[in-house]
């Protein structure tokens, strides 16, 4: 028999958690404050773009193991385990904004069934589980941290094939942590039970390590350009070292998305409040800004030194391929800088079909990559959509006003591009013309 689970929040993490837990045999009630979202989910329409999620929602509804309700209170009644998946965006100071979390906890406080376990899945500053336990202040309710490690575009896959499950509980009684670990009992993976502060730190340390690793790689790529080395070979060679591993070593226009930027800032603020200077993390963040400037410098140089009035075509706007997420996208950060210097930007992204007010304002959105290339002095690939590899570069060459292709993801095969007479520049790759 599965557990009775309430998932509070049907956003990215909440919906994935609810749908996947129901597929593991638990009875899940998932709550959101957005009536339209709840209605869509009840009709079996997934409200996030994620491979496999729609099928899981439809199966869950059909088997009656998954239900969607409006408001946290309706979900919590009768639950053994209440999982909090509410947004914790970056606040004005860079620290995580916990208002949504605190308001849900306050709303649920009196309604939680005796003996239930409250689980923090949102990424929250170290010490939040203790704070939530303080807010709930009930001896018959335990609070446990259970951070998620889901990548956008692979959320269902990552949930059902985790590298590890982390459960943090500062309760002397190990039973609540065990009950949470049992939710994942069908998955073949390592389960690490820690105190709650350590569980919260594992999440931040993992994301901040990944960001630092990318800033390191991007800097090595820059050095490769000065030294006529190839970052492709360098990272391939590094990746064979089992201590390093070959994942997460691709250079790019800087890292972005809804997690890495937010979590690096938040940990930096946490360190500051603890009286510690996390200089390495600050350098990783600064290096990321520098990476965007470096890309802009390449484009400026490609158009002869002055971006004012230069037409530039952009390929890719989302923060990475396989998502329609534009939040904290390095592509848009580069676009903003180009536009600030007077460049006129046309951009194509396979998942962006219309302008998004306040987000894509610097870019005229086109329906195809070829339209983005029309009359442009240079074309800049910013997101690694695999289909860009299959573009007809002769057709792009015909449409371009200039001859520069800047591939910030090292996605393209340089000879395929240069065969058409275009000049190719990657990141940390020897230039080819
Ligand atoms: C990230 C983490 O990878 C997840 O483990 C974590 O659970 C999640 O944040 C979260 O905190 O919720 P995600 O934001 O989906 O996942 O994106 P990643 O795939 O990690 O990519 C982050 C950024 O790094 C993107 O801009 C991507 O283009 C860039 N990147 C990634 C590179 O430039 N090179 C790489 O080799 C990998």
**Last-in-domain residue among 194, 225, 249:** 194
Of residues 217, 230, 257, 285, the one with CA closest to residue 426: 230
| Protein residue with least CA distance to atom 1, ligand 1 | 151
User: Range of 238's domain?
Assistant: 195-433
Residues 237 and 176 in one domain: no
Q: What are the mean pLDDT values of the chain's consecutive 10-residue runs (433 residues total)?
A: 93 96 98 97 93 97 97 94 92 85 94 96 90 94 96 96 96 90 96 95 97 98 96 98 97 96 94 96 98 98 97 98 94 98 98 95 98 97 98 97 96 96 95 68
Residue 110 makes CB contacts below 8 A (sequence gap 6+) with none
Q: Which atom of ligand 1 is nearest to the CA of 148?
A: 7
Which one-letter DSSP state was computed for residue 358?
T
3-class SS at 377?
coil
- The CB of 320 under 6 Å from ligand 1? The reply is yes
pLDDT at 158: 97
Cα(248) to centroid(ligand 1), Å = 8
Please indicate, yes or no, whether residues 154 and 219 belong to a single structural domain of this protein: no
d(CA 232, CA 251): 9
Indicate if ligand 1 lies below 6 Å from the C-beta of 216. no
Q: Do 228 and 143 lie in a common domain?
A: no
Q: Which atom of ligand 1 sits closest to the CA of residue 149?
A: 7
Tell me the CA–centroid distance for residue 281 and ligand 1, in Å: 16
- What is the model's pTM? 0.95
Q: Is ligand 1 within 6 A of the CB of residue 48? A: no
CB contact set of 52 (below 8 Å; sequence gap of 6+)? 156, 157
The Å distance, Cα 151 to ligand 1 centre, comes to 6
Instruction: Provide ipTM, 2 decimals.
Output: 0.98
Does ligand 1 have an atom closer than 6 angstroms to the CB of 343? no
> How many domains does the structure of the chain reveal?
2
In angstroms, what is the span from residue 54 Cα to ligand 1's centroid? 22
Which of 20, 30, 224, 259 does the annotation list as catalytic?
259
Query: pLDDT value at position 91?
Result: 83
Q: What pLDDT is attached to residue 433? A: 60
Domain CATH for 427: 3.40.50.720
Domain boundary among 135, 160, 194: 194
- To the query of whether residue 54 is one of the catalytic residues in this protein, the response is no
């Amino acid at each position: 028999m599965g557990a009775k689970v309430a998932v509070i929040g049907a956003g990215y993490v909440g919906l994935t958690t609810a749908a996947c837990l129901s597929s593991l045999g638990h009875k899940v009630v998932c709550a959101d404050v957005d009536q339209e979202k709840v209605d869509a989910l009840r009709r079996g329409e997934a409200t996030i773009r994620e491979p496999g999620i729609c099928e899981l929602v439809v199966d869950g509804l059909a088997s009656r193991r998954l239900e969607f309700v409006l408001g946290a209170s309706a979900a919590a009644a009768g639950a053994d385990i209440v999982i909090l998946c509410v947004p914790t965006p970056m606040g004005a100071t860079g620290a995580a904004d916990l208002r949504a979390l605190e308001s849900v906890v306050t709303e649920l406080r009196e309604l939680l069934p005796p003996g239930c376990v409250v689980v923090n899945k949102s990424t929250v500053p170290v010490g939040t589980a203790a704070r939530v336990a303080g807010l709930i202040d009930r001896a018959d309710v335990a609070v446990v941290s259970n951070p998620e490690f889901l990548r956008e575009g692979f959320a269902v896959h990552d949930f059902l094939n985790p590298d590890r499950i982390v459960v943090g509980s500062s309760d002397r009684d190990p039973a609540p942590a065990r009950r949470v670990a049992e939710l994942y009992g069908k998955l073949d993976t390592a389960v690490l039970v820690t105190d709650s502060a350590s569980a919260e730190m594992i999440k931040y340390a993992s994301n901040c390590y990944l960001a630092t690793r990318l800033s390191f790689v991007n800097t090595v790529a820059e050095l490769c350009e000065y030294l006529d080395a190839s970052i492709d070979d360098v990272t391939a060679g590094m990746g064979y070292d089992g201590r390093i591993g070959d994942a997460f070593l691709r250079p790019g226009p800087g890292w972005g998305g809804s997690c890495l930027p937010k979590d690096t800032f938040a940990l930096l603020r946490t360190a500051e409040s603890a009286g510690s200077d996390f200089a390495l993390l600050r350098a990783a963040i600064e290096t990321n800004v520098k990476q965007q400037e470096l890309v802009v410098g390449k484009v400026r140089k490609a158009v002869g030194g002055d971006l004012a009035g230069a037409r530039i075509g952009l390929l890719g706007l989302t923060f990475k391929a396989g998502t329609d997420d534009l939040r904290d996208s390095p592509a848009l950060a580069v676009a903003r800088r180009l536009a600030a210097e007077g460049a006129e930007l046309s951009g194509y992204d396979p998942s962006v079909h219309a302008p998004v007010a306040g987000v894509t304002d610097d870019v005229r959105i086109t329906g195809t990559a070829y339209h983005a290339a029309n009359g442009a002095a240079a074309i800049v690939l910013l997101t690694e959509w695999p289909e860009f590899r299959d573009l007809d570069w002769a057709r792009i060459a015909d449409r371009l006003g200039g001859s520069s292709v800047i591939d910030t993801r090292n996605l393209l095969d340089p000879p395929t591009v240069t065969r058409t007479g275009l000049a190719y520049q990657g990141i940390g790759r020897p230039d080819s013309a």
